[in-house]
Structure 1
Amino acid sequence: MIPLDPVPHPIDALPLRGSPDAAALEDRTGTLSYAELEAGVGRLAHVLAALGPGLGGRVASWLPKTRTACLLPLAVPRARQVHVPINPILKRAQVAHILADSGAELLVTQPARIATLEPGDVPPGCRIVTEEELAEAGDALPPSAADSTDLAAILYTSGSTGRPKGVMLSHANLWLGAISVAHYLKVTPDDRQLAVLPLSFDYGQNQLLNSWAAGACVVPLDYLTPRDVVKAVERHRVTTIAGVPPLWVQLLEAEWPEETAGRVRRLTNTGGALTPRMVRGLRGRFAQADLYAMYGLTEAFRSTYLDPSLIDAHPDSIGRAIPFAEILVVRPDGSRAGPDEPGELVHAGPLVAQGYWRDAERTAQRFRPAPGFAESHGMAVWSGDTVVEGSDGLLRFVGRDDEMIKSAGNRISPTEIEDAVLAGGEVAEAAAFGVPDDRLGQAVVVVVRGDSTREEELRARLRRDLPSFQQPREFVWRADLPRNPNGKLDRAMLKATLGERERA
């Protein structure tokens, strides 16, 4: 376990933490040692600096998980620029918005992607370069002397509730996030982490950073099918897989050779709650692995984790604060909520981002002074998520206030309904919503993926397991459910589709 050093450093100094000859990155093209990683970051930073964006200039990247894509999160800050990673599955209109909003001066991408852009998509003053143009050998920049408060990256949210907004992350945010995660996951130099999440996603990028903070090896993978993940685990002797709930559903449906599953030592989940059924499935399939349930938001990176020793007894818990985070449960009047009393989750401390890029109004809504009883001073992230802290100190997610279903005077958590629907195995995925109802105000409707012939079986079980006011009025059966660019269920699209259906 790496020590918890609370002193942040420039994020581009991470390669210096690994043993020079040890493997830092491994993919289909071979292995990159820590010495080669450091040299590659330095050379790439030198080229970026020569291309023109000065101090604080924004450098966007729109790439799959190539070597260049993996080095840019360190090389751009080393050039004293600001990295703006764009999810490779986004289309030209979304890319154009991010380029314009960030004021990008350079876009690093590939010829095939350039061909999809139309006139006006790339703002004036933004130069496009390909990976090949950055690969020229030359001088290397040494580690930067950046201040820990300097802006290092702007990560754009998925835009599920509107146009994507850029979250500003400093060198300190990235460094302390890497140290914190590597510490509580107990990552060692012997670990090999499979990076399947998008590098534009906060935890996807952190898989690179926490691996290198601990001197471990990261294996980047763009996968098409769950079988690709299984083969990568076998080929690269992977010890750690990070995912979001829809990925776990896919991996549990895949065929896993017993020896391959047995080599996995650690599973980490974010981007949505694990259901008790999913916990049982993962614990059965990967019997040797520690399972970490985590909660986070891009504005503060990561807030809580549940120790693996507690997950069997508390599968619905999001755990306690991660290192360097202070997590508070706050009443509407700003006071501290009591044990088992619902309140808003507020995250304070040095992992809190610097706000939204060029958006003072939305920054003021989400980033506000920490409550008076907080130990951490300064700005905190007011998440909008309702949680409960039990007398045992464990937190449980209740739901987002704007997603709570209000039916016949009752406040119903969509998460609670989804957990109940999934518990019996009749369906593979579920998303619960409230829809207008003349009698109740809102009625519960659940969109599910599975075999519709099992609906009566499902309803009979729910009548046993849920009170009458929580019974779904309707199940909407789908062959597949939409996902956002980070692989999570696209609740905004599902909700919009239900709204159109109700109005029809």
Structure 2
Amino acid sequence: MTQSPDPMPRPLDHLAERGEGGAPALVLRERTLTYDDLRSRVAALAAWLQAEVGEPGARVASWAGKTELTCLLPLAAARAGLVHVPVNPVLKRGQVAHILADSGAALLMGQAARLKTLEEGDVPEPCRVLTEEEVWGAVEAHAGSLGPSDADTDALAAILYTSGSTGRPKGVMLSHANMWLGAVSVAHYLGMAADDVVLGVLPLSFDYGQNQLFNALYAGASVVPLDYLLPRDVVRACAKHRVTTIAAVPPLWIQLTEIDWPEEASGPVRRLTNSGGALTVELVRDMRRSFPDARLYPMYGLTEAFRSTYLDPDLVETHPTSMGRAIPFAEIMVIDDEGHVADTGAEGELVHCGPLVAHGYWQDAERTAERFRPAPAQSRYGGTAVWSGDRVRRADDGLLYFVGRRDAMIKSAGNRISPQELEDAARATGLVAEAVALGVKDERLGQAVHLVVRPLAGAQDAEAQLPKLLAKELPNFMQPQAIHWRETLPFNPNGKLDRTAIAREIGA
């Protein structure tokens, strides 16, 4: 795609219109859907959803791996005038219950084994729960079909839940235009084409994974969704399907480059993309060794604005630590502490302006006002911008470089983890009186999760029981790599736990 990307958004359910009818669209474990199949299945699922839920703008949630249902729901819900809420399949019942209650979901669809873990009170009234098998049975019985929508492209189409620096996950509101333009932008700068085969290893609840599906469908390419157990599964899938495009986060890239790649697996690969954490010089070298003919696209993004920058593959060798430049449809500004555009080379906050900016946090005006604020006066787009909290600088050549974060978010294995959520879970066990969660630099994970706790007086066998209870209540990616037990924790002059001193003590 060498021509300029089309800036005119359309309703999200039109994304797959460009694909050749008989060409493979989704290569699922049990069967392959052509573009004709995909379009007819989306039409049938959308008709059933509209009849089943009815109310325009109602939220419908999915909690499953990469199945036919989770791949088609984003388009079918949009066609039916509903709002899709994808739930990360690694989350456990506590997080799922929060998302269902917060979003006001009318329907939860998912894999039977996951749904069985829900307990009484986890599913709020009047949300109904259906297994994937029940959904498809109802779709077949309904035997309807719904044509492409003419939805307002500024209308809400999805809510993606992401961890905040404080408290429970918050729902980022995305419109048809946000996701359509994100797909067009990425398909354009990656040069996606109809003969591409995209391996989908990232969760579809993750904006990076969801966009990978969308930009491939926009380009008329083929997508191979994969729920893998071991890195070897990725290698085998690449060889079997002659994959041309792999997207991953740094911890997975480390695992993938530590194993041997036969020519039949690595040879067809044209491009590698990375987000969810910065690549190191050593990891770039290892990726080059494993995929000598592939072009590497380092990228930076945030769910509140999807994607902000990418580094041209031709510049990776000479500028390995750069974030690159703005992607199409994004305006990236560096604003100093006085609210002015920072001088070249000076540090400032990354501010993302333009049509990729989300519509705020679902039913959370306070946190929306903190992050979504008027664009700087110098912005060519104006309107609302996302003030990222990330500190960056712009070099003489226009390339951006990451400096650091202002907030306390832990970024581990590509996941954003709320320290407060982990601390709340630790205290809720009844074993600890105080808890501080911190990220400690880790070569494989980016940051490893460490938990510093003071036991509750009288707690029995706390050191042995705390890891077990956290394993029951929190997903694997949130589990502490280390728990540090202390009889006392330091306080700052304001009477709050001194996180700086605690972090210094454990080497965070």
CA–CA separation in structure 1 for the residues paired with 2:407 and 2:184: 33
- The residue aligned with 2:177 is 172
* Residue pair 1:53, 1:59 contacting (<8 A) in 2 also: no
CA offset digits 1:250-281 (Å, max 9, x no partner): 10112211332122110000000011111111
Q: Find out whether 1:310 has 2:310 as its counterpart.
A: no
* Residue pair 1:2, 1:214 contacting (<8 A) in 2 also: no
| Identity rate, percent | 61
**For residue 16 of structure 2, what is the amino acid of its counterpart?**
P
- The residue aligned with 1:51 is 52
Alignment of 1:79-90 (within 5 A): 79-90=80-91
CA offset digits 1:340-395 (Å, max 9, x no partner): 11100000000000000000000000000000111111000000000110001000
Q: Find out whether 1:265 has 2:270 as its counterpart.
A: yes
* Residue pair 1:191, 1:217 contacting (<8 A) in 2 also: yes
Offset, 1:401: 2.1
The 3 A distance-change label for structure 1 pair 359 and 213 is same
- The residue aligned with 2:106 is 105
Offset, 1:316: 0.4
| Structure 2: 5+ residue stretches without partners | 413-438, 446-470, 486-498
- The residue aligned with 1:139 is 144
Alignment of 1:208-227 (within 5 A): 208-227=213-232
Q: Find out whether 1:71 has 2:76 as its counterpart.
A: no
Q: Find out whether 1:362 has 2:374 as its counterpart.
A: no
Q: CA RMSD in A?
A: 2.8
CA–CA separation in structure 2 for the residues paired with 1:445 and 1:76: 40
Offset, 1:446: 4.5
- The residue aligned with 1:124 is 125
- The residue aligned with 1:478 is none
Q: Find out whether 1:322 has 2:323 as its counterpart.
A: no
CA–CA separation in structure 1 for the residues paired with 2:119 and 2:43: 33
| Structure 1: 5+ residue stretches without partners | 405-413, 419-443, 451-481
CA–CA separation in structure 1 for the residues paired with 2:115 and 2:475: 22
- The residue aligned with 1:181 is 186
**For residue 226 of structure 1, what is the amino acid of its counterpart?**
P
CA offset digits 1:285-310 (Å, max 9, x no partner): 10010000000000000000000000
CA offset digits 1:82-113 (Å, max 9, x no partner): 00000011000000000000000000112212
CA–CA separation in structure 2 for the residues paired with 1:449 and 1:36: 40
CA–CA separation in structure 2 for the residues paired with 1:446 and 1:5: 41
**For residue 143 of structure 1, what is the amino acid of its counterpart?**
P
SS class of match (2:407) = helix
**For residue 332 of structure 2, what is the amino acid of its counterpart?**
I
* Residue pair 1:195, 1:208 contacting (<8 A) in 2 also: yes
* Residue pair 1:197, 1:486 contacting (<8 A) in 2 also: no
Offset, 1:161: 4.8
* Residue pair 1:106, 1:127 contacting (<8 A) in 2 also: yes
1:241 maps to which of 218, 231, 246: 246
- The residue aligned with 1:20 is 21
**For residue 149 of structure 2, what is the amino acid of its counterpart?**
S
TM-score between both structures, scaled by the size of structure 1: 0.82
- The residue aligned with 2:205 is 200
**For residue 119 of structure 1, what is the amino acid of its counterpart?**
E
**For residue 49 of structure 2, what is the amino acid of its counterpart?**
L
TM-score between both structures, scaled by the size of structure 2: 0.81
CA–CA separation in structure 2 for the residues paired with 1:337 and 1:215: 41
CA–CA separation in structure 1 for the residues paired with 2:79 and 2:440: 50
Q: Find out whether 1:254 has 2:254 as its counterpart.
A: no
The 3 A distance-change label for structure 1 pair 213 and 222 is same
**For residue 311 of structure 1, what is the amino acid of its counterpart?**
V
The 3 A distance-change label for structure 1 pair 448 and 182 is closer
**For residue 258 of structure 2, what is the amino acid of its counterpart?**
E
* Residue pair 2:90, 2:475 contacting (<8 A) in 1 also: no
The 3 A distance-change label for structure 1 pair 160 and 403 is closer
- The residue aligned with 1:275 is 280
The 3 A distance-change label for structure 1 pair 191 and 297 is same
Q: Find out whether 1:153 has 2:153 as its counterpart.
A: no
- The residue aligned with 2:340 is 335
Offset, 1:214: 0.5
CA–CA separation in structure 1 for the residues paired with 2:133 and 2:339: 53
- More deviation, 294-303/110-119: 110-119
Offset, 1:14: 1.0
* Residue pair 2:91, 2:475 contacting (<8 A) in 1 also: no
The 3 A distance-change label for structure 1 pair 228 and 209 is same
SS class of match (2:358) = coil
- The residue aligned with 2:302 is 297
Equivalences, count? 436
* Residue pair 2:308, 2:327 contacting (<8 A) in 1 also: yes
- The residue aligned with 1:399 is 404
Offset, 1:448: 5.6
